[in-house]
Amino acid sequence: RFENRKIIELSRKLPGDLTAWPLIGHAYLFRGNHEDQMRIFQKAGRLTINRGGVASYWIGSRLYIIPIWRPRRKILAPTFSMKNLNRFVDVFVEQSSVTLEQLRPRASSGTFSMWYYLTTYTFDAVCETALGVKMNSQLQPSHPFLEALGEITQLTAARMVQPWLYSDWVYKTLPQYKRVEKCRALMYDFVEQVLKTKREAMKMNEGKPHSQSEADLRPKSFLEMLLDLNQFTDLEIMEEILVITAAGTDTSAVAASFTMVLLSRYPEIQDKLTDELLQVFGDSERAVTAVDLPRLRYLEAVIKESLRMYPPVPIIVRSVDNDTELRLVLVDGVGVLVNIWAMHRNPYYWGDDADVFRPERFLEPLKHPAQFVPFSYGLRNCIGYQYAMMSIKTVLATLLRQYRVLPPGGADQSNLKEPLRVEFDIMMKDVDKFQIQIENRFKSSSS
Ligand code: HEM
């Protein structure tokens, strides 16, 4: 208590409305399943809004600081330039058409979960753009990397809300640790193998005259761009590629899946969206291009409204390492939990209909540039923000031109506008696994 006296003093100035227990603080609230855990973040968020936006909660020990970030971000940022991203649209289009085909047997065949279709779409798109590898996970019943990613996020989320597991010394004695290490090793092996193959291919091409082969014409992957820069060691390259692959897969899949589920429940919004698609594409079957994406303004508003109400990353955390004066002084050593979910539901910024799905609000200017932060804000925001929007727009435009989305069979019509049940596993996901039905909009050539 003596060592933490400044932090304790700060917590007194920022009271919350939930009782803290000795030693474990508010961690006791996180017992129960993942849905209960997300409910606590929602409850604490609402209570915090009532206290003017800031309150304090004790969830145990200090957070990690990552000093390698700044130089790496500086090198990585140009690889996400618009010029590079526009080249990736062809990959998004190709992978979206695979998703479209995979979904064909689902048309008019009852309720199913969109999750696997979209998480494999984003994974294949990320692997091709980040690693330059065609993964074809969309065509397989499961993929070890995706399974490892799913397990590691679940285990990490569980550890995050149980501070008695923060100490590595304790955690290493538990079976969870072995599972985390197994997943981590699998994911690193995967990236290492890709890097090795790429290095070998580059060695073989060394000294050969430059040719306009197919490989030269396709867009360079992030991996190739990083290798060209020649500023990273192999381990650093692996770390960055792994981060991009992991950060870019489930996040975008969650966003696209929530959007599909919401559209299934709001047919009038889906109709408006279909009108826009008709305006941009007419009744042609041509593929989406990079030029179409900025023209899909209503689709963008729909995706943003979905990201507002159901942000795939509902909370982010920071650790204060220098006394920082805001409304009051945040003292060194205190943790800050930014509740993105609650910021997106604050009536002060969003009006009395903050809990209503209304994409039109994104056709108007926002009240404050930081009121909408699904990708965080400032220096440490999501580097893949535009990539994600372009990838999600491409897949949704492709699917919605072909399929009408409907709510699950047997769903209670009077409940369709009720909040979706959500759970926390680092990301926020739909408890019901994003279930919908689809039907063909037109009699397709194959039917
Ligand atoms: C809808 C999809 C996405 C959402 C909601 C999202 C959200 C976020 C958020 C909230 C952060 C900040 C995390 C924090 O501060 O603790 C972040 C960071 C990051 N995201 Fe995304 N993201 C998405 C898609 C992507 C994609 C597609 C990529 C890569 C292709 C990506 C790569 C990254 C990276 C590398 C960081 C770390 C940036 C840094 O620390 O400098 N994300 N993302």
**In the chain, domain spans:** 5-440
For ligand 1, whether the C-beta of 388 sits within 6 Å is yes
Closest CA to 84 of 93, 76, 96, 72: 76
Q: What CATH number has the domain spanning 5-440?
A: 1.10.630.10
Residue ranges for the chain with pLDDT beneath 50: 61-66, 212, 445-447
User: How crowded is residue 355: how many other Cβ atoms within 10 Å of its Cβ?
Assistant: 11
In tens, the pLDDT along 278-300 reads: 999 998 989 999 999 999 999 99
Q: How close is the Cα of 385 to the center of ligand 1, in Å?
A: 7
Q: How close is the Cα of 204 to the center of ligand 1, in Å?
A: 35
Predicted confidence at residue 64, as pLDDT, reads 29
d(CA 444, CA 440): 7
For ligand 1, whether the C-beta of 312 sits within 6 Å is yes
The token duo for 109 is 């065949």
Q: How close is the Cα of 181 to the center of ligand 1, in Å?
A: 23
Predicted confidence at residue 15, as pLDDT, reads 78
Cβ atoms 275, 332 nearer than 8 A: no
Predicted confidence at residue 17, as pLDDT, reads 79
For ligand 1, whether the C-beta of 357 sits within 6 Å is no
| H-helix segments, 206-233 | 214-217, 222-229
Buried b / exposed e over 81-113, threshold 16 CB at 10 Å, is: eeebbbebbbbbbebbbbbbeebeebbeeebbe
Residue with CA at minimum distance from ligand 1 atom 24: 248
Cβ atoms 152, 180 nearer than 8 A: yes
In tens, the pLDDT along 135-166 reads: 999 999 999 999 999 999 999 999 988 889 98
Predicted confidence at residue 256, as pLDDT, reads 98
For ligand 1, whether the C-beta of 387 sits within 6 Å is yes
Is this complex's ipTM strictly greater than 0.95? yes
Predicted confidence at residue 216, as pLDDT, reads 54
For ligand 1, whether the C-beta of 122 sits within 6 Å is no
Predicted confidence at residue 335, as pLDDT, reads 84
For ligand 1, whether the C-beta of 382 sits within 6 Å is yes
Q: Which amino acid is at 56?
A: S
For ligand 1, whether the C-beta of 380 sits within 6 Å is yes
